[in-house]
Every structure is written in structure tokens, then in C-alpha cells.
Structure 1
Amino acid sequence: MPTNDPTATPIAGSAGPGPYLPPATQPVRAVVWVIHLALPLLGLWLLLAHHDRINVKWQHNPSHFWLIIAVAGINMILGAMISQASARRSDARLLLVSLVFLSSAGFFLLHGLTTPKMILPGPNYGFDLSQPVGLFVASGFAFASALPLGDRAAAVVLRSQAWLRGGLVLLLVAWGVLSLIPGLTPLSSKPPEQGAGLGGAELLGLVLYGAAAVLLFRLHRRRPAAMLISLITAYALLAEAMLAGMYHRNWHLSWWLWHLLLTFAFVFVAYGAHIQSRREGGTAGLFDSVALAATVRRVRADYERALEELVGHLRRRADSRVPVATRLAGKFGLTEAQAAVLDRAGEALANERELSERLAALVDLGNRARVGLPEDELLVQSLDRARQAYGDVRIALVSDGRVALGSAEYREADFPAGGPIRANGSVIHPLTVKGRLAGALRVPVGRTSQDDALAAALAGQMSISLENVRLYRELETLFRQYMSPDVAKSLLADPRTAELGGELVELTALFADLKGFTTFSERVAPGEIVEMLNRYHTAAVPIILGNGGTIVQFVGDALLALFNAPARQADHAEAAARAGLAMQEAAAEIVAEAPGYPRFRIGINTGPALVGNIGSPQLRGFNAMGDCVNVAARLEGIAEPGTVVIGQNTLDRIGPHARVRSLGELSLKGKEKPVHAYVLSGLS
């Protein structure tokens, strides 16, 4: 039973601090409830304690007869309703609860039919025993219904339902025949003056009712519901009725009391069912709260599948002669008003999910505009993702100042103030890059109130993605023309790599310049100097980059390349050696075509160096500093044109693969100790 009580704490097992305390078990309400159940027992005690003055005898056979017939009839209807619910849900607990009411109502009816001087001429055993027997039989079903039946036990009960129902019907028919035919059995004979009872069986029934009420109350604590409270109260009243009936003072007020208790028990459940049916607008799920936990989970799963079906139909806006809510109403026994509410709720949920999916698509589109992603790939991926959330989205880019979408063409002037154009249930938004028309996006609208805003957001995100990918492409082209690709890639991927500072790295430095460049420059025109340098650098740069090197300086005819920085290379010394030899081969081909050109001389050295961004906050460059780089420059200075000179550290890293000629120990400028150098002639 839902509650708005602010004092109720969360259900056990949830994130709340304590167990759930349903409204019916709040302290004040619990006290009132207990008082209501205790009052009949107090009245019974008063009647029995003051038997002569209060517990008077009142015998009116017709009143008894019609009261019992009416109450038993109502209770039989209630039992049939619960039985129908048990069949619809295939639930063992509901089956057992229905047998509680059918058995107690059936024997109550037989008790009424055996009222003396109505059908039978006088008092009889059947009149005295019918109701105690009915209450005892019902107590067994009540106790079984309150047990936490597992799947296997529930299956056994359901498989036995024909036997249970058939056995109860057979017992009622046999009891009726034996009680209502005069002289046939002792049941239709006159009982003793003190009345007839069941002895110890009545005490057992009392215990079973009490245990059933306690077990159901524990269930109610975990799963509060109005019908559970009604059923708990009914079981408690049936126990009190059995207790009151044990005193066998026929026609006295204490005897009428247990009739009233039975009546109240039946009416209480019927009234609870009536209130809940009015609250829910129907009787389809009236007794679901009493069902087993497995049945409740199955019912909830059915409702979830039904709601998903409804949402799916609403999202597809599927055409059907019968609305999907109406079909589900027939499946679940809902009223017309409930079907209308379900339809509106499903549509609201569908719209909410559609909004969530579109917002998720916008986030995905923003994540797709990555560095280095080609424009065509970006558009294909973005369009596929947008169609999943938005429907039939179309996109086209500008060609010759026009955008062709289907059979229509649009120019920049066709979009008023840069706004969208409406056409046939769609909205067409311009895509802009740097404030100029770059394309157009067509998005279907009109299904929800947020469609226009979401379409505008999609167009804005697509424009940003398109502008980003083109900007990245321009920056990458520009960077790669002015710096090494490894440095450009690092900066584009993470601009923080441009911060001033460096790290100590073992690397191999390659210095190269053109021997005789100054003399050559004095005797030729400046244009020929530029042509010569471009030919050499055009040949050298691809060789260095192809071997994993990073060119960090062009100074006139000289260049500096680093290997193992910033990109790491395990064989950086050998890679630098391969690059130096290949550069000399390419230079030899150039000189063969232009005999007057100067020749490369190359120096290579390996060792630790400080690598990073060097300069100022306004202008900086990627470079390396250290003795390793200085020695490479000195080795390049002593190298003969067309040769590659390497240091001892480089040879050690290359190993026996290098074919070298030793130059011995050399005294280099700025070095206190001599440096052993070698002329590299090849790599095996």
C-alpha cells in the first residue's frame, strides 16, 4: 500500500538507515489496530464473567438463518474472486487463501442451513459442529498460505489444486447431505444440552490462525499492502471467532459474538478489496500484493515488458487499427481510464527516452571530432550516430557555392539570418565553418515539443565538428611544413607538450652541412643558392624522417636531426647511421647531375642530452642541448665531403654491423679528453 507518510523509513536492504515501517504499523496506528482486535476478546471475557447478568440468551431463528446466508454468500463470492486471481497468476498462495474463504464460507453456509426450525425441525449436531469444523479446515489453509513457499513447494500446491478444490467441494457436499437429511446420521440428530465441540482441535486451529497472522505481518513489513493488512485482520478475527465458539453457549450473546467476528472478518476483506479496487480503478491486480514473491516478480516483469512494448510502438508511431494501450488493457484487464493513463504515461516515457538518446548522440558526436580524423570518416560516423537517435537525418556539403539536399538546392542567402528552413516535416539547418556556409543538415521534426531545439543542437554540434576537423587538418599541414611530424603530432594531440622545459634522454644527434658552401655562394646568384639547398634538403628530409629522425634545425646549409627524441627508438644509433649513409648516396646523385655543387659532410654521436622546449613564453623551439650534440657538431666539422664520421658511443650501440675506419683519438674543440672517431662506410 503506497504511503505519503513522511515518517516512513526506507525498505530494508535499500540505502536508508533502517527497515521500512509501513503506515499500518506506525506506533499510534498499531495501537489502535491492536485495540480493535482486543475489544472482542474483552467483550467475550465480560460476557462469560457475568454470565447471569450480561450474557443473556436471545434466540431468533429467522434472523440467524438470513444473516448467515447473506454473509456466507458474500464470502463465497470473495473466495471465488481470489480463486480466479490465483488461476490468472498461477500463484499457490492465492490458491490457498481462496480455500481459506471458500471452506470457512461453505461451512458457515451449512451452519445457517441447519438453523433449527428453518429446514430441520429442531436442534442438531450439524448446527453445532459446522462452523467449528469449517474454521478448523480453514486454519490449515491459512497457515499454509502464510508460509514462504519456494518454487518447488508452490509447484506442488498448484499441481494439487484440482484435488484440493475437489476434496473441499466433496467434503462440503457430504457434510451438507449428512446434516440436512433428518435421521440419516447423528449430524442431523439432537446434540447434548451443553453443545458439541472439537476439543483439542479448536486449540490447534487457534494456534494456526495466530501463526498465519504473524507470518503475513512479517511479509507486510517487507512488502506493505492494504490487502495484506485486511488478510492479517481477517485471520486474527477468525482466530477470535474460534475462541469465542469454544464455549458452546448457543443463542447467548457470547455465541452471537463469534458470528459477528466471522462476519467482520469476511466484511473486512471485502471492504479492503472494494477500497483498493476503487483506488486502482479495476480488479485485475487486486490480490497481487498477497501473491508469492516469484509471482510479484513475474507480474512486474510482465508490466515492464508491456510498457516496453508500448514505448516501442509509440517511438515508432506504428499505425494500427487498435491502439497498443487498448491491446495491453485487454491483456492485463485494465479499465478504459487506466488504458488512457497508460497511453499518456507510455508516450511521456517514450519522449523522455528519445530526448535522452538524442542528448547522448550529441555527446558522442562531440567525442568523435578527434585529431587526425579524416573529414569523410567524421561525416559518415556522425551521420550514422545521428540517425540512430534523430531518424532520417541527411547531410550535404557545399559545392560551387550550393548545397544539394535531394532535389532541392540551397545557397547561403537562402537561410534567413543564418536560421533554419522548414520543409515537409523537416527542418534544414546551415552548417557553417568560420562563419561561412559549409553544408546543410536536414532533421525530421514535429514529433515532440523539443524537436526544434534538439535539431538546432545537432546542427550546431555538426558545425563545430566540421570546423574542428578542418582546423586540425590546416594546423597539421601548417605544423608539418615548419617542424618535424613527431613534434607537430605531439603538439596537436596535447598542447601541454609545448610548455617550456625538458628531460634528460639518451639520443643520437646527426649534424650535416655542405663543405664549400661559402665559396659556392660567392660565385653564383642567390636564386641558384636557394635551388641548390632545396634540392639537397628535399632529398635529405624524407631520408631522416623515414628512419624515425626528428629535424630540429635548419641553419643555412646545415641541419640537426635527433633520433630517439621526441619519439622513442630502440635502435636510434643504427637508424641515424642508415640515414647518414643514405643522405650521402642521395647527395652523390645530385652532384653527378650538378658537378659544381658542394658535398655533404655528416657527424653522428650518441649520448645523453637535455631535450625539450627551449626559448621564452613568446617564442620557443624544440631542441636538444648537451655534450652529445656538441661532439656531433665537432665530428661533422672534421669529416671529409661525402663521408659520415661517428663517435665511439655510436659505434658501441651499433655493434659489429658497422663497417668503419678508425681516425684514432682526436682532440676536439671544447673537449679536454680526446674522442675516438671513425669513418662509417656501411652497415652489414
Structure 2
Amino acid sequence: MQNSEIQRITNWLIDGARSSGTPSEMIAEVCEHLVAAGLPLSRFGIFIRTLHPEIFGRNFIWRQGQKVEIGTVDFEILDTPEFARSPLRIVFEEGLEVRGRMDDPDSKRFPFLDDMRAEGVTDYLAMPMPYLDGSIHATSWVTRQPGGFSDDDIAAIRTLVAPLARVSEIISLRRTAEMLLDTYVGNRAGARILGGQIRRGHNDTMQAAIWLSDLRGFTALSDRLPAETVVEILNQYFDCQVTAIRGHGGEVLKFMGDGLLAVFPIDEYIGDAAHVCARVLEAARESRASVEALAFPVGDVVERFRFGVALHVGNILYGNIGGGNRLDFTCIGPAVNLAARLEKITGRLGRTVVASEGFANACRHDWRELGEFPIAGFSKAQRVYGLAEETPVVMA
């Protein structure tokens, strides 16, 4: 390989790989330049561990003449026999290089390399890619060249790992920030925060369908069960709603004990309130079915659950609210207040789903008028609707 070409690729990486718009494009461009410079590379992989509650890491696989494949791996892989006997386990846990020349009997200790051997691979090299925070990530380099990688090839690869680590770390840090914001404040709010809306006063008015729910009998449940059990119940209970909400275009803004606040944005220019509210109602029905099916064994007893959700539609103020340098990206306004009051009515009426007059008018459905109710903080009584298909259940 030409040292000048390696230096050019290194400089390009240090400069941020600016000509590549995505991580996949950056990886493809690096590999193609390396092949053009004389590195006999047939396959390259980069494995990034992530700060995510469900995903252990992401992998990007380049093969000559093919598009980069992107995949994710969950934490269950750590307990598999395949991972226990994988070269990457040594890289991740010990930070060591692992080489597997197919003509070396020692390579037989890695079953993964049997597949490589069947594909005509002659040499495999896994190298640690340390980040500045001390975490260890990994790269893998594969060739079909007779005799495997030369000493010069391996020296060139080692030269490239450090600049590759720097640019991938920058990309990973931004992605981690996006994932953490999505996890804790929601994707819509996360995008705004990353976009620079980080000061008090950065607020927008938005029309949205509003979802506010809570679990029936939660106080009594918390009193008679261990706190750890209550947390497990809450997690499974929220799963019943979050999947449906996100699946129908909503965003969960906040968990408040057993309460959940979500919004479904309405595009005022398109005028899609009817379509959005229909999706909200479908999410409510799916959540109702999931909560009804939820059975949680506690000793000899199987706990069953009910919840209530209030649906409303209106304008909300959406943005940064808080004190000093502790802010919350949330929504406020009379529409949110009304949804919170309506949610309390679900319990009094023994209903799972209740809707405001505004929501019922936007979402044409077989609604049953439940009457007018005085609402604290509102000058006029509010007409409330329930689903005709629901049979009220008054809890003892």
C-alpha cells in the first residue's frame, strides 16, 4: 500500500469525513479508497456499543461490491454460546487484537470463522477501537488474498483505527444524545432540543389531540405490594399504551406516577384533525385490550388491571418550562387542563375511554353522550362522551 494514500485517508477522517452524508456512506468511502490504494479488503465491519436500554450495539458491514448493511444487537447476545466463543468478545472484554488466519489450526477455536473459511476467506483481523471515554468498540477486517494480510497491510490498518475511532465517536455521541432525548423526552421534543431550543421562552403553539390516562386503584396497589413489584407492574402497564400510542403517530411526553401524557400533533395546514383523532381512538382501543389482557402473578394471586384515558383536542403551548437551569420540555394550556379533569371523570363513570365534545366532533364515531359535568377551573360545564360499545364498570 502507498503510505501517501493512507495519510490522505487518515487526514480525511480527522477532518470529519465531510464528503460523506451518513455513517454508511463514510464506511463505504473508506473501504473503497483502501481497496483502490492496494489493501486486499473483501469485508469490513464496525461494531459500536450503544447507551440504550434495549440495544447492546449496532453493526455496519461492508462487502466489496455491495451496500453497507446496518444491524442492531440486543443484550441477549451476551448470554449466547456464539458470543462466548466469538473473537469480538475478546476485543470488547479484554481490548486485544484477535487474528484468525484460516491456515492456522488455532483459528478453529472460533466457530464464526468456519463460515468465513467456507466463503474463501484467508485471513480475519478483529481490532479494538477505543473511545476517549474508555469504552471499547471493535472493527473487523477480512481478506481473500492468498496468504492473508501482509505485515504492511496490518500496519496500515492499525494506522487507520485511531482516526476512524475519532470520527465514529463523534457520530456515536450525537446518536447517543438523540437516543437519550428520544427515550426521556420523546422524539419531537428531542429534535427541538438538539436543534437549539434550550432556553426558557422557546415555546410554540401547536394543535394536537391530547391523551391523558392513569391506572385505576394505583394508590391501593402501591400500599399492599412491594415497591419493586409496583415498578414491574407499571412498566408492563405503560408498555400496553406506549406501543399503541407510538404506532399511531403519538408522542409520549411524560410519565407522572401511574399517569401518562401524550400528544398527537395535528397539521393545521392540511386540516387532518379527523384522521389524527381516528388514529388516537384506535390507539385507545388497542391499549384497552392490552391492559385487559395484562395478568401479573403476585404469589398465589393474579392481579388484573383497568385504566382510564381522556381524549381531547385543542391548542397547547409546547416548549421549555422550568426554573434556572432545570427545564422540562412539555406542554401546558387550558386544553391539557381539561384533559386532566376529564380523566378523573372516567373513574366516576366506570369508563375506560371518555372524550370531550371537541374530540367527539372531530372523530365521527358511535359515541354515547354521558352528560354535562362541571369542571373545576372552567366557567362552563363540559359535555362528555363515551364509547357506545363500552359497558360501564364501577369499581368498588
**d(CA) in 2 for partners of 1:355 and 1:596?**
65
Cα contact 1:432–1:463 (8 A) shared by 2? yes
SS in 1 for 2:255: strand
**d(CA) in 2 for partners of 1:512 and 1:550?**
14
**d(CA) in 2 for partners of 1:461 and 1:642?**
60
Is 1:549 the equivalent of 2:250?
A: yes
TM-score, normalised to structure 2's length? 0.61
* CA spacing shift, 1:445–1:518, aligned 2, 3 Å: closer
Unaligned stretches of 5+ residues in structure 1: 1-315, 318-350, 410-428, 447-451
Cα contact 1:666–1:677 (8 A) shared by 2? yes
SS in 1 for 2:214: strand
Give the CA deviation at 1:484: 2.5
Alignment match of 1:632 (pick from 327, 339, 360): 339
**d(CA) in 2 for partners of 1:573 and 1:511?**
14
Letter of the structure 1 residue corresponding to residue 131 of structure 2: V
Aligned to 1:677: 384
Give the CA deviation at 1:672: 0.3
Give the CA deviation at 1:563: 0.9
Aligned to 1:402: 96
* CA spacing shift, 1:438–1:607, aligned 2, 3 Å: closer
Give the 5 Å matches for 1:298-447: 365-366=17-18, 368=20, 370=22, 373=23, 377=24, 380-387=27-34, 390-392=37-39, 399=88, 400=90, 401-404=95-98, 407=101, 431-434=129-132, 435=134, 438=137
Query: Any idea what the Cα deviations from partners look like across 1:81-116, whole Å, max 9, x if unmatched?
Result: xxxxxxxxxxxxxxxxxxxxxxxxxxxxxxxxxxxx
* CA spacing shift, 1:440–1:630, aligned 2, 3 Å: closer
Query: Any idea what the Cα deviations from partners look like across 1:291-334, whole Å, max 9, x if unmatched?
Result: xxxxxxxxxxxxxxxxxxxxxxxxx99xxxxxxxxxxxxxxxxx
SS in 2 for 1:633: helix
Aligned-CA RMSD value: 4.4
Cα contact 2:313–2:359 (8 A) shared by 1? yes
Query: Any idea what the Cα deviations from partners look like across 1:388-409, whole Å, max 9, x if unmatched?
Result: 6644276676831332467599
Structure with greater helix share of residues? 1
SS in 2 for 1:365: coil
Letter of the structure 1 residue corresponding to residue 239 of structure 2: T
Query: Any idea what the Cα deviations from partners look like across 1:63-98, whole Å, max 9, x if unmatched?
Result: xxxxxxxxxxxxxxxxxxxxxxxxxxxxxxxxxxxx
Aligned to 2:165: 463
Structure with greater strand share of residues? 2
SS in 2 for 1:542: helix
* CA spacing shift, 1:431–1:483, aligned 2, 3 Å: same
Unaligned stretches of 5+ residues in structure 2: 47-86, 105-126, 142-148, 391-396
Cα contact 2:318–2:331 (8 A) shared by 1? yes
Cα contact 1:365–1:385 (8 A) shared by 2? no
Cα contact 2:14–2:166 (8 A) shared by 1? no
Give the paired residue count.
300
* CA spacing shift, 1:484–1:430, aligned 2, 3 Å: closer
* CA spacing shift, 1:641–1:531, aligned 2, 3 Å: farther
Structure (1 or 2) with the larger CA radius of gyration: 1
Cα contact 2:212–2:262 (8 A) shared by 1? yes
Aligned to 2:315: 608
Cα contact 1:602–1:643 (8 A) shared by 2? yes
Aligned to 2:283: 579
Aligned to 1:662: 369
SS in 1 for 2:380: coil
**d(CA) in 2 for partners of 1:614 and 1:521?**
30
Letter of the structure 1 residue corresponding to residue 170 of structure 2: N
Query: Any idea what the Cα deviations from partners look like across 1:522-555, whole Å, max 9, x if unmatched?
Result: 3333333323322211211111111111111111
Is 1:651 the equivalent of 2:303?
A: no
Q: Which has the higher contact order (CA 8 A, sep 6+)?
A: 2
* CA spacing shift, 1:652–1:364, aligned 2, 3 Å: same
Give the 5 Å matches for 1:54-453: 365-366=17-18, 368=20, 370=22, 373=23, 377=24, 380-387=27-34, 390-392=37-39, 399=88, 400=90, 401-404=95-98, 407=101, 431-434=129-132, 435=134, 438=137
**d(CA) in 1 for partners of 2:219 and 2:8?**
70
Cα contact 1:613–1:622 (8 A) shared by 2? yes
Aligned to 2:325: 618
Aligned to 1:276: none
Cα contact 1:361–1:386 (8 A) shared by 2? no
Alignment match of 2:208 (pick from 496, 507, 521): 507
Is 1:496 the equivalent of 2:204?
A: no
* CA spacing shift, 1:661–1:439, aligned 2, 3 Å: closer
**d(CA) in 2 for partners of 1:664 and 1:646?**
12
**d(CA) in 2 for partners of 1:664 and 1:507?**
24
* CA spacing shift, 1:437–1:669, aligned 2, 3 Å: closer
**d(CA) in 2 for partners of 1:580 and 1:572?**
12
Cα contact 1:396–1:404 (8 A) shared by 2? no
TM-score, normalised to structure 1's length? 0.38
Aligned to 1:18: none
* CA spacing shift, 1:480–1:682, aligned 2, 3 Å: farther
* CA spacing shift, 1:390–1:634, aligned 2, 3 Å: same
Query: Any idea what the Cα deviations from partners look like across 1:630-655, whole Å, max 9, x if unmatched?
Result: 11111111113442111111122213
Give the CA deviation at 1:486: 3.9
**d(CA) in 2 for partners of 1:440 and 1:604?**
49
Give the CA deviation at 1:488: 3.8
Cα contact 1:511–1:602 (8 A) shared by 2? yes
**d(CA) in 2 for partners of 1:558 and 1:618?**
26
Alignment match of 2:185 (pick from 483, 488, 493): 483
Letter of the structure 2 residue corresponding to residue 611 of structure 1: Y
Aligned to 1:417: none
Query: Any idea what the Cα deviations from partners look like across 1:144-201, whole Å, max 9, x if unmatched?
Result: xxxxxxxxxxxxxxxxxxxxxxxxxxxxxxxxxxxxxxxxxxxxxxxxxxxxxxxxxx
Give the CA deviation at 1:496: 1.2
Cα contact 1:508–1:605 (8 A) shared by 2? yes
Cα contact 1:383–1:393 (8 A) shared by 2? no
SS in 2 for 1:551: strand
Cα contact 1:600–1:641 (8 A) shared by 2? no
**d(CA) in 2 for partners of 1:403 and 1:513?**
52
Query: Any idea what the Cα deviations from partners look like across 1:269-290, whole Å, max 9, x if unmatched?
Result: xxxxxxxxxxxxxxxxxxxxxx
* CA spacing shift, 1:682–1:475, aligned 2, 3 Å: farther
SS in 2 for 1:508: strand
